[in-house]
Structure 1
Amino acid sequence: MKKNLRPLFQNMAIIMAGSLLLTIVSCNKDTSTETEELTATEVISATELKYSDETEMISEEISTLAEDVFASDEISSTAKSDYHSDYLPDCVTVTVVLTDTTKEVTLDFGEGCELRNGNLVAGLVHLSYAKDFEAATNTIELNLEGFMFNGVAVEGSSSIVRVRSNENGNPQGTANANFTATWPDGATASFSGTRTREWIEGFGTGFWGDNVFLITGKRTYVSRAGNEFVKEVTTPLRREMSCRFIVSGVLEISRLGNTVSLDFGDGTCDAKGTLTYPDGTQEEIFLRRFMN
């Protein structure tokens, strides 16, 4: 008996047409997404900007730990009094090794220790500097070991040139750092370069909440996607330790000859910033991926 193959071919044609339509839709969707990404991320995307800002916070917190420890020694030595800062939490273990000329300090945050500002850290921070606290400058060598910051693994080192009194009469630290961050999903980013932190308020009071810094400098950031950005402070960034965020100042971010500027605001303590694109358009964004 001869079989009628027409229904079979009709069904195959329908399936092939459906597959072709799905492919076209998928291609159009991918193309649209790619075009949107290329347009929106001509310099840096809002998502990557949050990760970039997170690395800034990590680097800033590491520098704060180092300079707070050094300042305690400096004030105690030069003021000839027993000075203690309240910035380090009770959960950290501090180990000191002295040589004839140097002091080596290890901060052990164990498997998890909450800082005064709410950030959670773990692992070790190794510090080394000369014992001559009367000197106009001193250099703090910093190395990390098994260090974690809010669940992000951080490796690397920093060399901080500490000036007792700059041209404004304030303590100042210039950090030349090179760090790599690895997020829980395995993605990595690196950040290196120089940042200067001028301690403009609160030095020597013993209360961490009134400390204020102005930050300047230029760094290179290689994103999780492998894109390289140059980030330069054009208006000093104001960091008030009572706030977890930069409260004011402007940071320029450049890539492939294009530049966006990030304005951190008018001094209000929040996670918001205003991003200005090369064409002059602006967008308000949140600068912390883990909070709104």
Structure 2
Amino acid sequence: MNKFKILMVLMALGFVSCQNDDSSNLSSDDSFSSEAIAEEAESVLDNIALYSESTFGVYQSTGKTSLDSKTDGTSKRGRSGYFKDCVDITYEETDTTRKLTITFTGDCTDSDGNIITGTITKLRSKTDTSAERSITITNLSINGYLVNGSKSYTYTASNANGNPEMTGSVDISVVTDAGTISKVGTRTVEITAGADTDTCTDDEKTITGSSEFTDASGAVYSMVIDPALVKPAECKYIASGIKTYTNANGVTTVDYGDGTCDNIAIKTAADGSVTEIELGRKRHH
């Protein structure tokens, strides 16, 4: 009987050992390269949400109106310059809602060089005292990766620091070369410099939040941003800040750097190994 018990214990230990060898040990470079693509996609969604606000000149008309026309020399796509001529924005107002349909035609390139194709819809309830907005993303292509999901947030033109700020939740999936990944969590984006001008090209953004990330293998782990991610106005990539990923097998960090503008982040895995990750924007098709 004792031998039988010992055998059962050894078998159980062997099973646990095998379980700990799967991809949930956070060591996969593919997982973190894919997460970098998801971060880039989420940053694009942040910009679409921010620069489609009325403070940037988009919600200017009433009734069913195309926002392609110009009034007093100002494009109905807003004053930020984020939405190019390849973007068609249609505004529809009912008794209870305000709706924007934003369509990126062809391969539409934004000011950061991201290539966007497809349509998203943005709704705001007139009766919602919290002024919450919701965005629906359906088969939107960002740099060749298919994005689906939703984003709900509130926006203030001037927070306690006097800056524009957007805060809320996100639930997206992204089809990458390694497979489909997903992020569910909360996120706050503050324009910490450049907010005193209408143009988006001089805006520095600071990003905080946390999420649950599922990689292409199905492994799930939590993520916290601390210190905040910073994207300088002159850089197309996040230049500083740290993401920390945690699950039962340990802690992995991704460090975006010291503020130097480059497309490299440093990953330190739970086993102490250190590797470079190239940030996003690989599949323009």
Q: 2:51 is matched by which residue type in structure 1?
A: D
Whether the aligned pair in 2 keeps the contact of 1:63 and 1:175 (CA below 8 Å) is no
Is 2:225 the counterpart of 1:233? yes
Write out per-residue CA displacement over residues 45-98 of structure 1, whole angstroms, 9 at most, x where no aligned residue.
222111011101101111211111113148979xxx966221111101111112
Structure 2 partner of 1:72: 56
How much identity, in percent, do the aligned residues show?
27
Aligned-pair CA distance for 1:190 = 1.1
Structure 2 partner of 1:5: none
Relative distance call for 1:213 and 1:75 in structure 2 (3 A) is farther
Aligned-pair CA distance for 1:283 = 3.3
Structure 2 partner of 1:158: 151
Residue 285 of structure 1 is aligned with which of 259, 277, 282? 277
Structure 2 partner of 1:202: 194
Q: Matched residues in 2 for 1:222 and 1:170: separation?
A: 33
Q: Matched residues in 1 for 2:221 and 2:103: separation?
A: 33
Is 2:123 the counterpart of 1:128? yes
Aligned-pair CA distance for 1:243 = 2.1
Which deviates more from structure 2 when the two are superposed, residues 189-198 or residues 241-250? 241-250
SS in 2 for 1:53: helix
Count of residue pairs the alignment pairs up: 249
SS in 1 for 2:201: helix
Whether the aligned pair in 2 keeps the contact of 1:43 and 1:256 (CA below 8 Å) is no
Relative distance call for 1:130 and 1:241 in structure 2 (3 A) is farther
Structure 2 partner of 1:18: none
Aligned-pair CA distance for 1:264 = 0.7
Whether the aligned pair in 2 keeps the contact of 1:198 and 1:215 (CA below 8 Å) is yes
Relative distance call for 1:146 and 1:232 in structure 2 (3 A) is same
Aligned-pair CA distance for 1:118 = 1.2
Residue 175 of structure 1 is aligned with which of 168, 189, 209? 168
Q: 1:44 is matched by which residue type in structure 2?
A: S
Relative distance call for 1:75 and 1:146 in structure 2 (3 A) is closer
Structure 1 partner of 2:185: 193
Whether the aligned pair in 1 keeps the contact of 2:249 and 2:270 (CA below 8 Å) is no
Whether the aligned pair in 2 keeps the contact of 1:75 and 1:204 (CA below 8 Å) is no
Residue 93 of structure 1 is aligned with which of 83, 88, 91? 88
Larger C-alpha radius of gyration, 1 or 2?
Answer: 1
Aligned-pair CA distance for 1:290 = 2.3
Q: Matched residues in 2 for 1:271 and 1:38: separation?
A: 30
Can you give the 5+ residue segments of structure 1 that lack an aligned partner in the other structure?
1-34
User: Going by fraction, where is helix more abundant, 1 or 2?
Assistant: 1
Q: Matched residues in 1 for 2:125 and 2:57: separation?
A: 11
Q: Matched residues in 2 for 1:103 and 1:75: separation?
A: 9
Q: 2:246 is matched by which residue type in structure 1?
A: S
TM-score, L = length of structure 1: 0.76
Aligned-pair CA distance for 1:182 = 1.7
TM-score, L = length of structure 2: 0.78
Residue 58 of structure 1 is aligned with which of 28, 38, 41? 41
Aligned-pair CA distance for 1:216 = 0.6
Bigger RCO of structures 1 and 2 (CA < 8 A, at least 6 apart): 2
Structure 2 partner of 1:248: 240
Structure 1 partner of 2:104: 109
Aligned-pair CA distance for 1:253 = 1.1
Q: Matched residues in 2 for 1:97 and 1:76: separation?
A: 11
Relative distance call for 1:279 and 1:144 in structure 2 (3 A) is closer
Q: 2:36 is matched by which residue type in structure 1?
A: D
SS in 2 for 1:167: coil
Relative distance call for 1:39 and 1:177 in structure 2 (3 A) is closer
Q: 1:176 is matched by which residue type in structure 2?
A: S
CA RMSD of aligned residues (A): 2.9
Q: 1:103 is matched by which residue type in structure 2?
A: R
Q: Matched residues in 1 for 2:281 and 2:134: separation?
A: 30
